[in-house]
Amino acid sequence: AQTVTQSQPEMSVQEAETVTLSCTYDTSESNYYLFWYKQPPSRQMILVIRQEAYKQQNATENRFSVNFQKAAKSFSLKISDSQLGDTAMYFCAFMKHVRGSTLGRLYFGRGTQLTVWP
């Protein structure tokens, strides 16, 4: 079974500063994907960034980047130049890579509520 753990229920950061959200996971799979989703008060789950486990290079998307440590099973999200609109619940998620299959189940952590203040 796959488990995803986010040890920080809440975090806050001042606008324009940098913040890092932590995520660890447990799996016996060798091929998989990791994601960070954000859920603002509108409730829609929005994909922030995705990492393929077979890629050593850390994924980046504008102000968002990850630190993927496969051996340590760690997948942290760094948000640079934080903006008020980044305030949201952030979920770390895991998906198995199943060759030839159409299974796309996500395993989620419990989330980290990030508040960006002026």
Note whether 1 binds other proteins by CB under 8 A: no
Name the segment binding other proteins (CB under 8 A); options: 15-23, 46-54, 64-72, 77-85: 46-54
Q: Which is nearer to other proteins, 69 or 110 (CB)?
A: 110
Q: List the one residue from 33, 64, 78, 87 that touches other proteins (CB under 8 A).
A: 33
Note whether 102 binds other proteins by CB under 8 A: yes
As a whole number of angstroms, the distance between CA 76 and CA 68 comes to 7
Q: Which of residues 60-99 bind other proteins (CB under 8 A)?
A: 91, 95-98
Note whether 104 binds other proteins by CB under 8 A: yes
As a whole number of angstroms, the distance between CA 45 and CA 97 comes to 21
Min CB(18)–other proteins separation in Å: 25
